[in-house]
Amino acid sequence: MAKLTVEDLPLEGKKVLMRVDFNVPIKDGVVGDDNRIVAALPTIKYVIDHGGRAILFSHLGRIKKEEDKPGLSLRPVAERLSNLLNKPVTFVPVTEGKQLEDAIDNMKNGDVLLVQNTRYEDVKDGEYVKRESGNDPELGKYWASLGDVFVNDAFGTAHRKHASNVGIATNMPGKAAAGYLMEKEIKFLGDAVDNPERPFVAILGGAKVSDKIGVIDNLLEKADKIIIGGGMAYTFYAAKGIKVGNSLVEKDKIDVAKQILDKAGDKLVLPIDNVVADKFNNDANTKVVEGDIDDGWMALDIGPKSVEEFENVLKDAKTVVWNGPMGVFEMPNFAKGTLEIGKFLGTLSDATTIVGGGDSTAAVKELGVADKLTHISTGGGASLTYLEGKELPGIAAISEK
Ligand SMILES: Nc1ncnc2c1ncn2[C@@H]1O[C@H](COP(=O)(O)OP(=O)(O)O)[C@@H](O)[C@H]1O
Ligand SMILES: O=C(OP(=O)(O)O)[C@H](O)COP(=O)(O)O
């Protein structure tokens, strides 16, 4: 990269603003899989070991209304980070104002501070104003004014053009650098996918349908096959006129799905059968059905025939990129599809296998298959966007050397 890196910046005694991606699963106030926190440690340690004062920014989840805020506080993340660094981390429960400014003024060299979830700025006085997610110019300018230099290590957020990554960077020209995780991810993905060994198969699943469905269109040019599973599949079912019951479908994306199906021919592989449930609960009644899903039932995992079909497509692959679980893997009764596909990828010893995304990474780790894969990326949407050959705004905004 001809971009500035953390090693190019003056750090001793400096207020070092850092964007990290601490968008991790949290249950009952406790961090689950902490892969993304662990992945940011080398850069944080480098900064504090060189006398910098590390002021960390991250988003967590998505905030659209005031009530979303309490469950999406970064406080549990500050606790986990403190344990991992084995030193205190000051958590500031606000994203702007005197409390934050005073806390920064009180920092000493080598201290670490975590600012509240940047997406708290998306809702003000009950209004969904998207100051962070809409890259409000005043917000980026304000945050930039709090520090001397900026380090962006949030690869998982690099496909977003938000105030806390792009906004801060553009207000710190010549002083915005990439962290080690950012460098590592780009190097790995670049080597693996700029000239992928073929067959090259992409697997897409998960729940961020409207975010990621557009990616498929561009991926059709690059991949030899695209497997669609998980919550992503049922918008395609709807586009094909297959009944979906109460499954996850994004109605305003059905037309896009139709266009993709027309263009894709046999490149696109959809589930043949699904595990359907009568409620969104691990204790639901379940059955396996092929094709149409009746009203009152929702597909929460792919079925055994789908697994077989997907494995058949994957068996000769030389490069596999996977983002998005094949089902609601958090519930044990709907984890089998994700587990089977993960296990199978682990057997492809000749292939480069890359898994990206917060939930996908959590899934392969929880299911014990992570160490059999070539690379676990901290970014799902980010690695897909990179794969499409598109510029990542978070990286573009980093200063050139
Ligand atoms: N059939 C489905 N119906 C509803 N949600 C699903 C389904 N399959 C997967 N999901 C959900 O998708 C989520 C992960 O999606 P996503 O955020 O796109 O993945 P990642 O974080 O790896 O990029 C998980 O919480 C999972 O439960
Ligand atoms: O988890 C993330 O994306 P991913 O699930 O695609 O890896 C990033 O933190 C970005 O989050 P966002 O998709 O809410 O902007």
User: In terms of Cα–Cα distance, which of 165, 152, 175, 81 is closest to 119?
Assistant: 165
Give the pLDDT of residue 127: 97
Percent of all residues in the chain with a pLDDT value above 70, rounded to a whole number: 100
Q: Would you say the CATH fold of 189-387 matches that of 6-182? A: yes
CA gap 15, 349 in Å, rounded: 46
Any atom of ligand 2 within 6 Å of the Cβ of 394: no
Domain 189-387, CATH = 3.40.50.1260
For ligand 2, say whether the CB of 185 is within 6 Å of any of its atoms.
no
Q: Where are the domains of the chain?
A: 6-182, 189-387
Q: Which of 328, 376, 377, 383 to mutate to test the pocket of ligand 1 (most atoms within 8 A of CB)?
A: 328
Look at residue 357 in the predicted model and tell me its pLDDT: 87
Rounded Cα–Cα distance for residues 343 and 367 (Å): 9
- Measure Cα distances from 164 to 9, 128, 215, 226, 366 in Å: 19, 17, 24, 33, 30
Q: Model-level pTM?
A: 0.89
pLDDT value of residue 218: 85
Per-residue pLDDT reduced to its tens digit, 139-198: 999 999 999 999 999 999 999 999 999 999 999 999 999 999 999 999 888 877 778 899
Mean pLDDT across the stretch 280-287?
Answer: 98
Among residues 328, 203, 327, 218, which one has the least CA distance to residue 269? 203
Interior angle at CA 296, CA 290 and CA 298, nearest 5: 50
At residue 346, the pLDDT reads 92
Instruction: State in Å: Cα 61 to ligand 1 middle.
Output: 13
Using CA atoms, how far residue 197 sits from 224, 225, 269, 276, in Å, is 11, 13, 20, 36
Ligand 2 centroid to Cα of residue 381, in Å, is: 6
Residue that the structure tokens 């967590």 belong to: 60
Residue range 6-182 in CATH 3.40.50.20: no
- Each residue's pLDDT tens digit, 224-267: 999 999 999 999 999 999 999 999 999 999 999 999 999 999 99
CA torsion sign for 321, 327, 333, 336 is: negative
Residue 1 has pLDDT above 70, yes or no: no
ipTM of the complex: 0.94
> Cβ(380) to ligand 2 under 6 A?
yes
